[in-house]
Chains A and B, each alone.
Chain A
Amino acid sequence: MQVINQQFIVERDDYANAGKVSSQVKQTLNQIGIPGELLRRVAVACYEAEINMIIHAWGGTIQCTLEDNGELTLTFKDPGPGIPNIDKALTPGWSTASEKARQLGFGAGMGLFNIKRVSDHFDIQTSPQGTTLTIGFLVTS
């Protein structure tokens, strides 16, 4: 299987381009034949995390890698300000989204919960210096 290693930059408060990276990731994975159900899960998780970087964090990077053993990993790294309470952030309905984010249709308090629910592997490390979210999916041929 083709190995992918792509990195994207997400700018802070870049509402105009929100979702473009996830769209590119989805298109790339679609082109190499990732099946529809898995592709939807990856796209949803990537999109939620990308939006989080824009509305909650100070931008960051998204790394997408696909190993030849079928391990697909998305890593989202931001420089802060960190998530004060992970348990609350993972609770459906809990949100600290700004008015601007709510105008965009976000702030339902489902973001991190959605990401965890659709991914096969979920890990999040956070501090005031930044957050690293790593999610994994198993691609079976």
Chain B
Amino acid sequence: MLANQIVQKLNATALGVWNQNLMNKDYQYVFATDLMSDALAMINNSCDQTVLLTGLCNAQSLRTAEMLDLELIIYVRGKKLDEEVLKLAMEMGFNVFSTDYSMFEASGILYQEGLHAGD
């Protein structure tokens, strides 16, 4: 599913899009968690096709994404990033969005659309 379509399905608003090319990239997997070590444990060869859904809005969500080569992060429950964190997202060239859906709802919507957990 293309990043653009994912964002549309979740009615997500852009907090920062710093790599427009990636909005036409196909993503097949989703990892949803507020625990960064859980995210780090899902390391696999599909990381670059994985969307991170999280409610954790601090720099560590971005650092975790950086280590795993995740490039699309969607924050749930309408959460926003503060200026410092947003600046870090820009430096990393990530695309970050916010959806009003809860983690459970957002996961369910993307699962219905055919995205699933990584290998």
Residue of B nearest to A36 (CB): B69
Is the pair A18, B35 in contact by a Cβ cutoff of 8 Å? Answer: no
Residue of A nearest to B45 (CB): A37
Residue pairs across A and B with CB atoms within 8 Å: the count is 76
B contact patch SS: helix
B110 interfacial by beta-carbon distance below 8 Å: no
Q: Which residues of B contact A118 (CB under 8 A)?
A: 43
Give complex CA distance A48, B67 in Å: 10
Give complex CA distance A16, B38 in Å: 21
B19 to chain A, nearest CB (A): 17
Is the pair B47, A108 in contact by a Cβ cutoff of 8 Å? Answer: no
A contact patch SS: helix
Is the pair B59, A19 in contact by a Cβ cutoff of 8 Å? Answer: yes
B56 interfacial by beta-carbon distance below 8 Å: yes
Give complex CA distance A36, B71 in Å: 14
Q: Which residues of A contact B58 (CB under 8 A)?
A: 103-105
Q: Which residues of A contact B34 (CB under 8 A)?
A: 105
Residue of B nearest to A26 (CB): B67
B5 to chain A, nearest CB (A): 25
Is the pair A106, B68 in contact by a Cβ cutoff of 8 Å? Answer: no
Is the pair B37, A111 in contact by a Cβ cutoff of 8 Å? Answer: yes
Give complex CA distance A118, B36 in Å: 16
Is the pair B40, A114 in contact by a Cβ cutoff of 8 Å? Answer: yes
One digit per residue, 1 when the CB lies within 8 angstroms of any chain B CB and 0 when it does not, for chain A 9-37 equals 00000001011001100100000000011
Interface size in chain A (residues, C-beta < 8 A)? 28
Is the pair A105, B56 in contact by a Cβ cutoff of 8 Å? Answer: yes
Binds B, one of A38-46, A66-74, A78-86, A128-136: A38-46
A90 interfacial by beta-carbon distance below 8 Å: no
A137 interfacial by beta-carbon distance below 8 Å: no
B60 interfacial by beta-carbon distance below 8 Å: yes
Q: A37-B45, A43-B67, A107-B35 are in contact. Are A48 and B60 (CB under 8 A)?
A: no
14 pairs from A and B in contact (CB 8 Å cutoff): A16-B59, A18-B63, A40-B68, A43-B67, A47-B67, A105-B34, A105-B56, A105-B58, A107-B37, A108-B36, A109-B37, A110-B41, A111-B37, A113-B41
